[in-house]
């Protein structure tokens, strides 16, 4: 069975399960635009799969249907899901599982080699030998190791005004979804500001502070790390950007400038790229970052 | 003190109690992270054997974190009943385990005995317990708390309704509260974790919770889980609160990091007694979690189970209304997978009850661990069977503010139905009058419809 056949089979089974539930619950309400955060879940779903659409009401005959739909609009929390005995009905249950699966996949899969290559990133690994070690020992993801630092010095441009680092962190999905749009916008922005840019680097199994080790290896003024955030069930694709001016290992966290929630429904990646370039220019002109830099 | 044993021809030697306590634990990533876990399965068992032969006096005389260096150690020491301790001190840890489990040891016996124990003794005996030991042992210990009314009585199971919203939006919180109430969740407390930790936000949230409680005449409690100093300022300015919440930990340096001291908690307890909504006597709500000290480098080389027991010993000084742990929330560096989370939940519930705390539980997980929903549901079933006082109630199990998964309204109703438990009597009566529960405490046909609160 190839992948497409498998997908079709899963789709058929899920749809049958949902139709059955729909019959019990009097059919999905439909027509209601779900909360904005649901869009991200929709992105990874085959078209027409109800589990991924707007939540609708999971109970047949509420006391106040219109009122209930308004309650749903007030929050992205899983309300109005109905019940099967005391348990979640199948639609709400599978939706929960789908969202958690997407979150876990964001953490436990690797950024695809194609994305790293097409974005022109020079790939290295942190000191973490594998994903489990990376998750269980945060110190490993913050360090590069001597050999890797030497490789950076040998292969990458040193002393640029801006050094870009991309890292999987806790969401490979965040990198894959955002970097292809963010990076060109960022580079154009830097060019517009007349700033020189080092060789963009990808650090596999990286934590935020690994950026300081890159700065230590390659020098330069501003270091930018674009790193996947810990996924929730609402979105698994949110990216954060941390920036330092003359960063160094052991520097205080208050020296970092942070921009988080970069994803389609948060700050869209292209917009974020342009904004990050503007912040970098300001850091260079004011020679400061973090709390010392007023934005 | 000789800390050694021979097991199947190999000699195992432990240099001090800190090392022995670390190696006697079941595997946890937090112990591994700081390099104090057992290197082999045999070493783990050897450590348990040596531990089982120590007397309670040897443990007390060799403190893991000396009282002159740590406020938590001092609070625990101050709480020991010396007369009861004198009667127990010659007992070994192994004998204590068997004594706690024996049919001849009554719940009343344990109530007396616990006043002679230190947290390190509580931790030690827990390390000798299996899954069923922890469930069975805890089931003998009921510890209730009384704020406006009592929760934790035999035959009851209560819930903290947790209607968090990522923007502290009151309408969003109300929607989740209505949903939870419609599942008869919320008899322990309506408790919100705010995004913004400031007096205005805290007061605004408490005001909204109070209005809902009044509007629907719900016999329950309200709490905003901001830092305790924020809640104190809000109450000083007239905000309504049933209790004060605070996260606490098992070392002074971790509590420093949380901005907590004994002095501050004493002040808080005095203030809520004076200006809170309820008579008590139990007016504090504490949250804890195995590994919180490790995750901020404040562990002093002590294993995470023992630090959690010390947290309970510290918390006990304020006779709290509720204590729950969130061990699965801290992260993979302290609890990595379902097996570790289930074990930690059982240990924490047992240790809390043995310490004398009204323990609730939050079997939970974040998305960057190996824990999944099935693990979480197993942990929930086991600690419910063990007699947890309460669980969280989170819409669909998905906390959209804290980005983790905890027990849902559905899980809560399932536990009540499976184990024939009902809410606290006052809330039970309300839920029956609202037509949400039948006389057995099972969800009625009307339950699960939040829109009944829209009229």
Strand partners, B12: B5
Give pLDDT tens digits for A170-218: 999 999 999 999 999 999 999 999 999 999 999 999 999 999 999 999 9
Are A96 and B173 in contact (CB < 8 Å)?
no
Other beta carbons less than 10 A from residue A122's beta carbon: 16
DSSP B2: -
Q: Which fold has domain A113-292?
A: Rossmann fold (3.40.50)
Between CA A228 and CA B314 the distance in angstroms is 38
Query: Is residue B287 classed as helix, strand or coil in its secondary structure?
Result: strand
Interhelix angle for A90-108 vs A172-192, to 10°? 60
From residue B256, how far is each of A30, B147, B260, B313 by CA, in Å? 51, 28, 6, 17
For chain A, what percent of residues have pLDDT higher than 90? 76
What is the CA A209 to chain-centroid distance, rounded? Answer: 18
On whether the CB atoms of residues A171 and A188 are closer than 8 A, the answer is no
Give pLDDT tens digits for A56-78: 899 989 999 999 999 999 999 99
Between CA B43 and CA A54 the distance in angstroms is 54
Between CA B393 and CA B406 the distance in angstroms is 8
Between CA A73 and CA A54 the distance in angstroms is 11
- The closest of B437, B354, B401, B16 to B185, measured between CA atoms, is B437
- pLDDT at residue number A35: 35
- pLDDT at residue number A213: 97
Other beta carbons less than 10 A from residue A101's beta carbon: 15
Phi/psi of residue A145, nearest 5 degrees:
85, 150
Q: Between A19 and A110, where is the model more confident?
A: A110
Q: Give the chain B residue whose CA is nearest to the CA of A84.
A: B410
Q: Which of B396, B411, B442, B447 to mutate to test the interface with A (most CBs of A within 10 A)?
A: B396
> Which residues 42-101 of A are in CB contact (within 8 Å) with B?
59, 62-65, 67-68, 71-72, 74-83, 86-88, 92, 96-97, 99-100
Give pLDDT tens digits for A19-61: 333 333 333 333 233 333 333 444 444 444 456 666 789 998 9
Residue numbers of chain B with a pLDDT score lower than 50: none
pLDDT greater than 60 at residue A7: no
> Which residues 158-187 of B are in CB contact (within 8 Å) with A?
163, 165-166, 169, 171-176, 178-179
Q: Is B318 on the interface with A (CB under 8 A)?
A: no
The CATH H-level (homologous superfamily) assignment of domain B145-454 is Aldolase class I (3.20.20.70)
From residue A75, how far is each of A35, A39, B163, B167, B403 by CA, in Å? 7, 14, 10, 10, 14
- pLDDT at residue number A242: 97
- pLDDT at residue number A284: 97
Query: What residues in A contact B407, CB-CB < 8 Å?
Result: none
Are A230 and B368 in contact (CB < 8 Å)?
yes
Per-domain boundaries in chain B: 145-454
Between CA B314 and CA B322 the distance in angstroms is 14
Q: Mind giving me the DSSP string for B187-229?
A: SSEEEE--SS-SHHHHHHHHHHHHHHHHHTT----EEE-S-HH
Q: Mind giving me the DSSP string for B376-422?
A: HHHHHHHHHHHT-SEEEEBGGGEETTTTEE--BHHHHHHHHHHHT-B
From residue A185, how far is each of A188, A270, A278, B387 by CA, in Å? 5, 6, 11, 57
Q: What is the average pLDDT score of chain A?
A: 86
Between CA B427 and CA B149 the distance in angstroms is 9
- pLDDT at residue number A43: 44
Phi/psi of residue B326, nearest 5 degrees:
-130, 50
Query: Is residue A129 classed as helix, strand or coil in its secondary structure?
Result: coil
- pLDDT at residue number A291: 87
The token pair at B54 is: 């120590």
Q: For residue B245, what are the contacts with CB-CB under 8 A and spacing of at least 6?
A: B191, B223, B224, B225, B226, B228, B231, B284, B285, B286, B287
Between CA B324 and CA B339 the distance in angstroms is 19
User: Least CB-CB distance to A79: which of B171, B179, B452?
Assistant: B179
Question: With the C-alpha atoms ordered B373, B374, B378, B381, is the resulting torsion angle positive or negative?
Answer: positive
Between CA A201 and CA A124 the distance in angstroms is 7
Are B400 and A77 in contact (CB < 8 Å)?
yes
- At residue A234 the predicted structure's pLDDT band, cuts being 50, 70 and 90, is confident
Q: For residue B185, what are the contacts with CB-CB under 8 A and spacing of at least 6?
A: B159, B161, B393, B409, B412, B413
Give pLDDT tens digits for A262-288: 999 889 999 999 999 999 999 999 999
Instruction: Give the ipTM.
Output: 0.95
Q: Is A138 on the interface with B (CB under 8 A)?
A: yes
From residue B296, how far is each of B191, B195, B455 by CA, in Å? 26, 21, 48
- At residue A18 the predicted structure's pLDDT band, cuts being 50, 70 and 90, is very low
On whether the CB atoms of residues B402 and B193 are closer than 8 A, the answer is yes
Are A83 and B454 in contact (CB < 8 Å)?
no
Per-domain boundaries in chain A: 3-108, 113-292
């Amino acid at each position: 069975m190839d992948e497409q056949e498998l997908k079709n089979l899963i789709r058929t089974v899920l749809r049958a399960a949902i139709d059955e539930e729909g019959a019990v619950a009097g059919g999905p309400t439909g027509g209601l635009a779900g909360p904005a955060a649901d869009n991200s879940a929709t992105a990874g779903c085959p078209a027409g799969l109800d589990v991924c659409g707007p939540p609708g009401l999971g109970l047949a005959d509420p006391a106040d249907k219109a009122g209930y739909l308004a309650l749903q609009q007030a929050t992205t929390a899983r309300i109005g899901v109905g019940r099967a005995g005391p348990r979640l009905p199948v639609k709400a249950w599978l939706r929960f599982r789908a969202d958690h699966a997407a979150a876990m996949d964001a953490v436990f899969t690797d950024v695809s080699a194609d994305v790293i290559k097409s974005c022109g990133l020079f790939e290295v690994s942190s000191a973490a030998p594998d994903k489990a070690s990376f998750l269980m020992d945060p110190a490993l993801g913050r360090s590069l190791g001597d050999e890797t630092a030497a490789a950076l010095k040998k292969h990458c441009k040193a002393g640029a005004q801006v050094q870009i680092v991309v890292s999987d962190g806790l969401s490979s999905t965040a990198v894959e979804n955002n970097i292809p749009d963010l990076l060109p916008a960022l580079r154009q922005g830097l060019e517009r500001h007349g700033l020189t840019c080092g060789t963009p680097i990808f650090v596999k199994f990286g934590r935020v502070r690994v950026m300081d080790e890159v700065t230590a290896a390659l020098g330069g003024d501003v270091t930018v790390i674009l790193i996947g955030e810990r996924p929730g069930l609402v979105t698994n694709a949110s990216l954060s950007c941390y920036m330092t001016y003359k960063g160094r290992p052991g520097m205080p966290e208050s020296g970092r400038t942070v921009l988080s929630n970069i994803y389609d429904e948060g700050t869209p990646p292209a917009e974020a790229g342009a904004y990050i370039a503007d912040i970098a220019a300001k850091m260079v002109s004011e020679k400061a970052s973090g709390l010392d830099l007023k934005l | 003190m000789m800390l050694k044993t021979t097991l199947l021809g190999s000699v195992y030697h432990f240099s001090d109690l800190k090392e022995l306590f670390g190696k006697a634990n079941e595997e946890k990533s937090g112990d591994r992270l700081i390099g104090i876990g057992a290197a082999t399965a045999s070493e783990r068992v050897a450590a348990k054997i040596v531990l089982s032969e120590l007397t309670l006096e040897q443990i007390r005389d060799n403190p893991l974190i000396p009282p002159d260096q740590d406020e938590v150690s001092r609070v625990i020491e101050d709480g020991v009943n010396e007369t009861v301790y004198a009667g127990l001190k010659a007992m070994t840890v192994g004998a204590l385990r068997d004594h706690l489990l024996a049919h001849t040891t009554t719940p009343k016996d344990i109530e007396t005995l616990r006043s002679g124990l230190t947290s390190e003794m509580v931790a030690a005996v827990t390390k000798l317990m299996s899954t069923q030991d922890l469930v069975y042992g805890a089931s003998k210990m009921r510890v209730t708390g009384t704020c406006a009314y009592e929760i934790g009585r035999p035959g009851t199971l209560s819930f903290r309704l947790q209607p968090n919203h990522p923007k502290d939006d009151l309408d969003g919180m109300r929607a989740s509260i209505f949903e939870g109430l419609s599942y008869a969740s919320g008899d322990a407390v309506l408790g919100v974790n705010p995004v913004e930790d400031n007096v205005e936000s805290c007061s605004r949230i408490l005001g909204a919770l109070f209005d809902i409680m009044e509007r629907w005449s719900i016999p329950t409690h309200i709490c905003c889980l901001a830092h305790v100093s924020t809640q104190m300022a809000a109450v000083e300015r007239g905000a309504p609160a049933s209790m004060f919440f605070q996260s606490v930990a098992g070392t002074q340096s971790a509590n420093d990091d949380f901005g907590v001291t004994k002095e501050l908690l004493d002040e808080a307890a005095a203030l809520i007694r004076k200006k809170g909504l309820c008579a008590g006597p139990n007016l504090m709500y504490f949250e804890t979690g195995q590994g919180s000290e490790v995750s901020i480098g404040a562990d002093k080389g002590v294993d995470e189970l023992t630090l959690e027991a010390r947290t309970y010993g510290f918390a006990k000084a304020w006779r709290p209304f509720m204590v729950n742990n969130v061990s699965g929330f801290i992260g993979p560096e302290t609890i990595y997978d379902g097996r570790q989370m289930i074990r930690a939940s059982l240990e924490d519930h047992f240790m809390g009850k043995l310490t004398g705390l009204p323990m609730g539980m939050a079997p939970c997980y974040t998305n960057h661990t190996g824990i999944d929903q099935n693990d979480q549901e197993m942990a929930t079933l086991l600690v419910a069977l063990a007699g947890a006082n309460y669980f969280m109630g989170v819409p669909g199990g998905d906390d959209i503010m804290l980005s983790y998964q905890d027990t849902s309204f559905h899980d809560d109703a399932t536990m009540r139905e499976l184990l024939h438990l009902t809410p606290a009597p006052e809330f039970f009566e309300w839920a029956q009058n609202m037509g949400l529960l039948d006389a057995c405490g099972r969800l009625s046909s009307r339950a699960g419809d939040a829109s009944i609160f829209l009229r």
